Amino acid sequence: MARIAIVTGGSRGIGEAISLKLKEQGVTVVANYAGNDEKAREFTERTGIAAVKWDVGDHQACLDNCARIAEEFGPIDIVVNNAGITRDGTLARMSYDDWDDVMRVNLGGCFNMAKATFGGMVERGWGRIVNIGSINGQAGQYGQVNYAAAKSGIHGFTKALAQEGAKKGVTVNAIAPGYIDTDMVAAVPAPVLEKIVAKIPVGRLGQADEIARGVAFLCSEDAGFVTGSTMSINGGQHMY
Ligand code: CAA
């Protein structure tokens, strides 16, 4: 029987690449999305992957939608917490809402999705949770106290939940992407982005598929002994 996966923010950018890669591996994928109905419809038509709309920052919406997906498709074996937003700005210019939106979606979303699915994975003795962190959660980034804090929180969340899942067949890992060629990175002002790319040893932005391949490995049967780890995929921009 095919494994069932939910990929949050799974119809665009890195999430789309992850949805497609997991499908390629024989997984039944449901992509969550938050905003653009038109793009989601186009995504489903093109890929055959179901797309379901809800806000991962909304706790009850996560519980309700995961329950409905489990009813329709079967028990959820794999969750990829990929949904993320930016509200960049220096602290002086950052509003409380900029802080709160990013914490609620990027970090709160991981908690909400885990609450909705981790118990079932433990009961069935198998599960994979992959959380998409960020190089900027590891190293910090000028203009991103909100995003860096949320992503850094994801790395702590991953290590704590991994300990709870370890004896139950449920692995919890993170990937820390560097700068990947997506709409989110394209929104960084060109002169700022140029300076960032100049500091990437590999000399280019990453591709979404390069993140998806890492996710596919962490979700596979082969990765059962990998838990609580963070896989950095960043072209050598941050090494430690
Ligand atoms: N370190 C130190 N100083 C810096 C700096 C840095 N990294 N970046 C900018 N500054 C300085 C500038 O030199 C400038 O100084 P002066 O006023 O003395 O000239 C000052 O800070 C203001 O810089 P900006 O003109 O850039 O300020 P701004 O207010 O117009 O914009 C900003 C601020 C919105 C944060 C902008 O710098 C920016 O967008 N930075 C990029 C943030 C970023 O990398 N976001 C990543 C988004 S993608 C993502 O998050 C995905 C992922 O996981 C990797």
Mean pLDDT of 46-65: 98
Q: Is any ligand 1 atom within 6 A of the Cβ of residue 179?
A: yes
Residue 158, CA distances (Å) to 77, 130, 138 in order: 17, 8, 13
- Report the pLDDT value the prediction gives residue 240, as an integer from 0 to 100: 78
Mean pLDDT of 143-161: 98
- Report the pLDDT value the prediction gives residue 1, as an integer from 0 to 100: 80
* Domain-wise residue ranges, the chain: 4-179+209-233
The percent of residues in the chain predicted with pLDDT above 70, rounded, is 100
Q: Are 179 and 201 spatial neighbours (Cβ–Cβ below 8 Å)? A: no
**What whole-number distance in Å separates Cα of residue 14 and Cα of residue 212?**
7
Catalytic residue among 33, 142, 147, 240: 147
Atom 10 of ligand 1: nearest residue by CA position? 142
pLDDT at 38 over 90: yes
Q: E strands of the chain, at which residues?
A: 4-7, 28-33, 50-53, 78-81, 127-132, 170-177, 230-233
Residue 68, CA distances (Å) to 115, 161, 211, 237 in order: 15, 24, 28, 41
**What whole-number distance in Å separates Cα of residue 110 and Cα of residue 39?**
24
How far, in Å, from the CA of 84 to the mean position of ligand 1?
19
Mean pLDDT of 116-134: 98
Structure tokens at 166: 């370890």
- Catalytic residue status for 147: yes
- Average pLDDT of the chain to the nearest whole number: 97
How far, in Å, from the CA of 55 to the mean position of ligand 1?
28
Residues paired with residue 173 on neighbouring β-strands, in sequence order: 130
* pTM, two decimal places: 0.96
Q: Taking the domain 4-179+209-233, which CATH number applies?
A: 3.40.50.720
Most informative mutation of 94, 192, 194 for ligand 1 (most atoms within 8 A of CB)? 192
What's the pLDDT band for 92 if we cut at 50, 70, 90? Answer: very high
Mean pLDDT of 47-57: 98
Residue type at 130 in one-letter notation: V
Closest by CA position to 177, among listed 210, 146, 148, 149: 210
Atom 28 of ligand 1: nearest residue by CA position? 89
Atom 33 of ligand 1: nearest residue by CA position? 89
Mean pLDDT of 7-22: 97
Q: Is any ligand 1 atom within 6 A of the Cβ of residue 188?
A: yes
Residues 186-220: tens digit of each pLDDT: 999 999 999 999 999 999 999 999 999 999 999 99
CB burial readout 137-160, b (16+ within 10 A) else e: bbeebebbbbbbbbbbbbbebbbe
How far, in Å, from the CA of 191 to the mean position of ligand 1?
10
Q: Is any ligand 1 atom within 6 A of the Cβ of residue 90?
A: yes
Total residues belonging to the chain:
240
Atom 50 of ligand 1: nearest residue by CA position? 86
* Torsion angle of the four alpha carbons 46, 51, 55, 57, in this order, in degrees rounded to the nearest 10: -90
